[in-house]
Amino acid sequence: MPTTVIVGAQWGDEGKGKVTDLLAERAEVTVRFQGGNNAGHTIIHGDEVFKLNLIPSGILHPGNTCIIGNGVVLDPGVLIGELDDLHKRGVDTTSLRISANAHIIMPYHLLLDHEGEAKLGELKIGTTKRGIGPCYADKADRLGIRVQDLLDEKILRKKIVTALEPKRQQLRPWAKDPSLDLHAMVEEFANYGHRLEPHIAETSLIVHNEIKAGKEVVFEGAQGALLDIDHGTYPFVTSSNPIAGAACVGAGIGPTLIDDVWGIAKAYTTRVGSGPFPSEIEGDIADKIREVGAEFGTTTGRARRIGWLDLVALKYAARLNGMTGLCVTKLDVLSGIETLRVATTYSNNEGAVFDEFPYHQSVLHHSKAEYVDLPGWDEDISSARSIEDLPENCRTYLNFISEFLDVPIVLMGVGPERTQIILAGDRALSFARN
Ligand code: IMP
């Protein structure tokens, strides 16, 4: 049975939740391996809309073991809120397993995230202010609080005191903030530990054993390749590695256990937060795409920046991830646009042309996209269920993408409902049959 890593191929928000949800229907295990509640997945099941930030979307499928891996940074209050909401709606959450090694987002991480952004002023990253960066920083600094620490109040207190010591200066403006009261903090987080204890496990062993037993496992990435801390548009990135290689580190398995990597990309591009975006557009077409595509953040509600499909960046993402399949989502949003522009190279003011994603930040900042224009289509494609149902211009658009990237398209999204998809290719067709 295959193991598949699902990753964002752009700047996040590509519709990974929907694809994971589809695969999770058949898979036996779903694993989150990085990021935290900076991510947000909206999943539509019949009349019900589920918004999940931390719990893998497999939770909506009975019998699916859901894992929050060691690479995730976890805000326990948010996690418990999600568990409570799912209980209220009759979803069984007993299969959730949380790595004892995952790091905990503490109240001071939230304050430091706010403070860091405020200090940067105009240079701000535009973080989700969920404490993600400061939590990963403490992990690297070996000052982090891990899930297992919540289970021993004495250790927890000691570790919090040690973690707070070097931050005293930065946290001075909040010296009296109730969220920083040591006694209350220890009590609150020890209580989270009691509540989460039945879910805490050696998740790396579970994943390993499930794969060895031939189970189908889906690894659910958050954010996207261009937000990767090593390979993205640094410093305008998140603080983890959203690329496929991180699935191994963040779940605790070896790379030889991964069969497939599916990259998810919208039929156009969006970005939230600051940073370079060579194919960005403004004006009527951008407004229309934002409105039709509901391009407002699930986590923060922010309006997303809009751009044409950027194949220079997508080719980079395909390479970084070793993509074996591409899922093109939100194809329906492009209906009714006369001419579709697709970025195939970048150029700068000095006349240089780049056909690979520039590695130098200054070059990237001064790059603008150069386009190939393709004819659009007028038809409503939301009820298309096979490639043959799509208008010819739409098929030409998809072929152009696939040939440019040399990656087969395995899935297309033509509407928000989980049934509004078109599957292609051998692997994908096997899902359709089941
Ligand atoms: P952080 O992850 O909150 O530190 O934010 C760092 C950057 O990543 C900011 O530009 C965020 O807008 C962006 N980001 C983080 N998570 C997501 C996501 O799930 N979708 C899109 N952008 C994200």
Q: How many domains does the chain have?
A: 2
Task: Report the nearest atom of ligand 1 relative to the CA of 128.
Answer: 3
Instruction: Determine the residue type at 274.
Output: S
What is residue 126's DSSP assignment? Answer: -
Look at residue 255 and tell me if it is in a domain: yes
How much distance in Å is there from the Cα of 242 to the middle of ligand 1? 11
- What CATH number is associated with residue 147? 1.10.300.10
User: 311 and 404 in contact (C-beta within 8 Å)?
Assistant: yes
Task: Report the nearest atom of ligand 1 relative to the CA of 35.
Answer: 2
Look at residue 97 and tell me if it is in a domain: no
Look at residue 416 and tell me if it is in a domain: yes
Verify that 141 and 7 share a domain, yes or no: no
Verify that 242 and 328 share a domain, yes or no: yes
What tens-digit pLDDT sequence spans the chain (434 residues)? 699 999 999 999 999 988 988 898 889 999 999 999 999 887 777 788 888 999 998 899 988 999 999 999 999 999 999 999 999 999 999 999 999 999 999 999 999 999 999 999 989 999 999 999 999 999 999 999 999 999 999 999 999 999 999 999 999 999 899 999 999 999 999 999 999 999 999 999 999 999 999 999 999 999 999 999 999 999 999 999 999 999 999 999 999 999 999 999 999 999 998 999 999 999 999 999 999 999 998 777 889 999 999 999 999 999 999 999 999 999 999 999 999 999 999 999 999 999 999 999 999 999 999 999 999 999 999 999 999 999 999 999 999 999 999 999 999 999 988 889 999 976 555 554 44
Verify that 268 and 323 share a domain, yes or no: yes
Verify that 161 and 295 share a domain, yes or no: no
Verify that 190 and 300 share a domain, yes or no: no
User: 240 and 246 in contact (C-beta within 8 Å)?
Assistant: yes
- What CATH number is associated with residue 338? 3.90.170.10
Sign, Cα dihedral of 98, 103, 107, 112 = negative
User: 295 and 203 in contact (C-beta within 8 Å)?
Assistant: no
Ligand 1 pocket test, candidate residues 227, 234, 300, 306, most atoms within 8 A of CB: 227
Verify that 271 and 386 share a domain, yes or no: yes
How much distance in Å is there from the Cα of 326 to the middle of ligand 1? 22
- Distance CA(337)–CA(335), nearest Å, equals 6
Look at residue 145 and tell me if it is in a domain: yes
Task: Give the domain range for residue 312.
Answer: 3-89+203-433
User: Which are the contacts of 155, defined by CB distance < 8 A and separation ≥ 6?
Assistant: 149
Verify that 211 and 158 share a domain, yes or no: no
Short-list 5, 10, 23, CA closest to 434: 23
Which residue has a Cα nearest atom 11 of ligand 1?
127
- Distance CA(390)–CA(381), nearest Å, equals 6
Q: Give residues (CB < 6 A) around ligand 1.
A: 11-13, 38-39, 125-128, 130, 132-133, 222-223, 227, 236, 238-239, 272-273
- Distance CA(310)–CA(326), nearest Å, equals 14
Looking at 174, 198, 222, which one is the last position of a domain? 198
Verify that 249 and 375 share a domain, yes or no: yes
Verify that 82 and 111 share a domain, yes or no: no
Look at residue 96 and tell me if it is in a domain: no
Look at residue 111 and tell me if it is in a domain: yes
Looking at 177, 198, 219, which one is the last position of a domain? 198
Look at residue 342 and tell me if it is in a domain: yes
Which residue has a Cα nearest atom 22 of ligand 1?
12
Look at residue 258 and tell me if it is in a domain: yes
Verify that 256 and 269 share a domain, yes or no: yes
Verify that 176 and 310 share a domain, yes or no: no
Sign, Cα dihedral of 187, 204, 299, 244 = positive
